[in-house]
Chain A
Amino acid sequence: MTKSKSAYSVAGKKEKLDTHIIVVWVDNEAGVLARVVGLFSGRGYNIESLAVAEIDSKLNISRITIVTTGTPQVIDQIKLQLKKLVPVHKVADFKREDKQVIFKEMALFKFVGNNNKRGKALNACKKYNAVILDKTNKSCVIQITALRREIDKMSKNLKKFGLISVSRTGAVAMTRGAETFK
Chain B
Amino acid sequence: MPKLLSGAEIVFKCLEDQNVEYIFGYPGGAVLPIYDELKNHSSIKHILVRHEQGAGHAAEGYARSSGKPGVVLVTSGPGATNVVTALTDAYMDSVPLVCISGQVPTHLIGTDAFQECDTTGITRPCTKHNWLVKDIRDLSKIIHKAFEVATTGRPGPVLVDIPKDIQFQKTDYPKFKKKNKLNGKVHNHFSQKEIDELVKLMSKSKKPIFYTGGGVINSGPKASELLRELVAVTGFPITSTLQGLGCFPGDDNNFLGMLGMHGTYEANNAMHDCDLMINIGARFDDRITGKIDEFSPKSKKVHIDIDPSSINKNVKVDLPIVGDVQSVISSIIKTIKKTKPNFVKSNKQQISKWWEQIGKWREKKSLDYINSNETIKPQYAVQRLYELTKNKDTFITTEVGQHQMWAAQHYKFDKPNRWMTSGGLGTMGYGLPAAVGVQIAHPKKLVVDIAGEASVLMTIQEMSTAVQYNLPIKIFILNNEYMGMVRQWQELLHEKNYSESYTAALPDFVKLAEAYGCVGIRAKTPDELDDKIIEMINTDRPVIFDCLVDKQENCFPMIPSGKPHNQMLLGPKDQEQNKITGKGKTLV
Q: A residues touching B (Cβ–Cβ < 8 Å)? A: 4-10, 12-13, 30-31, 34-35, 38, 42, 73, 76-77, 80-81, 83-86
Interface string of B128-164 (1 = CB under 8 A from A): 1100101000000000000001000000000000000
Cβ–Cβ < 8 Å partners of A31 in chain B: 120-121, 124, 132
Cβ–Cβ < 8 Å partners of A10 in chain B: 291, 562
In contact, B308 and A30 (Cβ under 8 angstroms) = no
Interface string of B296-336 (1 = CB under 8 A from A): 00000000000111011100100000000000000000000
In contact, B292 and A30 (Cβ under 8 angstroms) = no
Complex: how many Å from CA A86 to CA B560? 38
B16 within 8 A of A: no
Given contacts A13-B293, A30-B134, contact A6 B494 (CB under 8 A): yes
- Pick from B125, B128, B185, B291: contact of A9, CB below 8 A: B291
Cβ–Cβ < 8 Å partners of B561 in chain A: 6-9
Q: Most chain-B Cβ atoms within 10 A of its Cβ — which of A7, A85, A86? A: A86
The minimal Cβ–Cβ distance linking A66 to chain B, given in whole angstroms, is 17
Q: Most chain-B Cβ atoms within 10 A of its Cβ — which of A4, A30, A31, A84? A: A84
B493 within 8 A of A: yes
Given contacts A30-B132, A38-B124, contact A9 B292 (CB under 8 A): yes
Cβ–Cβ < 8 Å partners of A38 in chain B: 124-125
Complex: how many Å from CA A38 to CA B494? 36
Which residues between 396 and 429 of chain B lie within 8 Å of chain A, taking CB atoms? Answer: none
Which residues between 550 and 571 of chain B lie within 8 Å of chain A, taking CB atoms? Answer: 560-563
Cβ–Cβ < 8 Å partners of B577 in chain A: none
- Pick from A7, A34, A76: contact of B560, CB below 8 A: A7
Cβ–Cβ < 8 Å partners of A84 in chain B: 128, 185, 307, 309
Complex: how many Å from CA A31 to CA B132? 9
Given contacts A6-B493, A77-B309, A86-B149, contact A34 B292 (CB under 8 A): no
Q: Which residue of B lies closest to A87 (CB)?
A: B129
Given contacts A6-B493, A42-B125, contact A81 B292 (CB under 8 A): no
Q: Which residue of A lies closest to B290 (CB)?
A: A9
In contact, B183 and A77 (Cβ under 8 angstroms) = no
Which residues between 378 and 395 of chain B lie within 8 Å of chain A, taking CB atoms? Answer: none
Cβ–Cβ < 8 Å partners of A35 in chain B: 124
Cβ–Cβ < 8 Å partners of B309 in chain A: 77, 80-81, 83-84
Given contacts A10-B291, A30-B134, contact A5 B560 (CB under 8 A): yes
Extra 14 A-B pairs, beta carbons < 8 Å, given A4-B494, A9-B292, A34-B121: A5-B494, A6-B560, A7-B561, A9-B291, A10-B291, A12-B292, A12-B293, A30-B134, A31-B132, A34-B124, A38-B124, A38-B125, A84-B307, A86-B183
B489 within 8 A of A: yes
Q: How many residue pairs between the two chains, A and B, have CB atoms under 8 Å in the bound complex?
A: 64
Q: List 7 A-B contacts (CB under 8 A).
A: A5-B492, A9-B562, A10-B562, A31-B124, A73-B312, A73-B313, A80-B309
Cβ–Cβ < 8 Å partners of A13 in chain B: 293
The minimal Cβ–Cβ distance linking A32 to chain B, given in whole angstroms, is 11
Cβ–Cβ < 8 Å partners of B316 in chain A: 73
The minimal Cβ–Cβ distance linking B409 to chain A, given in whole angstroms, is 22
Cβ–Cβ < 8 Å partners of A73 in chain B: 312-313, 316
Complex: how many Å from CA A86 to CA B563? 38
Complex: how many Å from CA A55 to CA B129? 23
Complex: how many Å from CA A30 to CA B135? 13
Cβ–Cβ < 8 Å partners of A8 in chain B: 561-562
Q: Most chain-A Cβ atoms within 10 A of its Cβ — which of B125, B149, B563? A: B125
Complex: how many Å from CA A103 to CA B131? 34
Top 9 A-B pairs ranked by shortest CB distance? Answer: A7-B562, A80-B309, A6-B493, A86-B129, A5-B493, A9-B562, A42-B125, A80-B308, A81-B309
B286 within 8 A of A: yes
Q: Which residue of A lies closest to B149 (CB)?
A: A86
Cβ–Cβ < 8 Å partners of B128 in chain A: 84, 86
Cβ–Cβ < 8 Å partners of B183 in chain A: 86
Cβ–Cβ < 8 Å partners of B286 in chain A: 9
The minimal Cβ–Cβ distance linking B481 to chain A, given in whole angstroms, is 23
Complex: how many Å from CA A4 to CA B562? 12
The minimal Cβ–Cβ distance linking A47 to chain B, given in whole angstroms, is 16
The minimal Cβ–Cβ distance linking B215 to chain A, given in whole angstroms, is 15
Complex: how many Å from CA A84 to CA B305? 14
Q: Which residue of A lies closest to B158 (CB)?
A: A86
Complex: how many Å from CA A13 to CA B293? 8
Complex: how many Å from CA A89 to CA B182? 14
Q: Most chain-B Cβ atoms within 10 A of its Cβ — which of A6, A13, A35, A77? A: A6
Q: Which residue of A lies closest to B184 (CB)?
A: A89
Q: Which residue of A lies closest to B292 (CB)?
A: A12
Cβ–Cβ < 8 Å partners of B308 in chain A: 80, 83
Complex: how many Å from CA A6 to CA B492? 9
Complex: how many Å from CA A1 to CA B560? 20
Complex: how many Å from CA A12 to CA B307? 24
In contact, A6 and B563 (Cβ under 8 angstroms) = no
Cβ–Cβ < 8 Å partners of B560 in chain A: 5-7
- Pick from B132, B185, B311, B562: contact of A86, CB below 8 A: B185
